[in-house]
Amino acid sequence: MAAEICGICGGDGRINNSFGNETRCPSCHGTGRRSDEGGLRDVTKTKPSHHKPAGNAAVAPKQQGPATAGGLLLAREVEACATVSADTKAKILREIADHEATHGKCTETFIKKVRRQLRPPVR
């Protein structure tokens, strides 16, 4: 077991927190020396369940437009609006579809936001 000076406490075996409390080093357990086994270790991505499958999963098709009743009504309002350009309408329709995909429906706050975008500019 090769022991080296602990990199966390610098070989002191003690560490201080921001409150001034002193405690044993969690890496070397107060010895000041750190062995190859034990101490702090990186546990990220160690389980097979943490790894994504290598391209075997089917990708769900991207939703093209609104699917809920509220989303479809809002989409009709956007299409009927004469104060915004075609590019802006397409952008808003994508926003509606994305919002439905993440929230399940068009919330009242989102509907107000979209309707605010459809208003003619104040002069």
* pLDDT, tens digit, 9 for 90 and up, residues 32-83: 887 665 555 666 666 666 666 655 555 555 557 788 888 899 999 999 999 8
Supply the pLDDT for residue 111: 92
Supply the pLDDT for residue 91: 93
4 has pLDDT over 90:
no
Whole-model pTM above 0.75?
no
Supply the pLDDT for residue 95: 92
Mapped onto helix, strand or coil, the DSSP state of residue 69 is: helix
Long-range contacts of 112-121 (CB under 8 A, 24+ apart): 114/74, 114/77, 114/78, 115/77, 117/84, 117/88, 117/92, 118/77, 118/78, 118/81, 118/83, 118/84, 118/92, 119/83, 120/83, 121/83
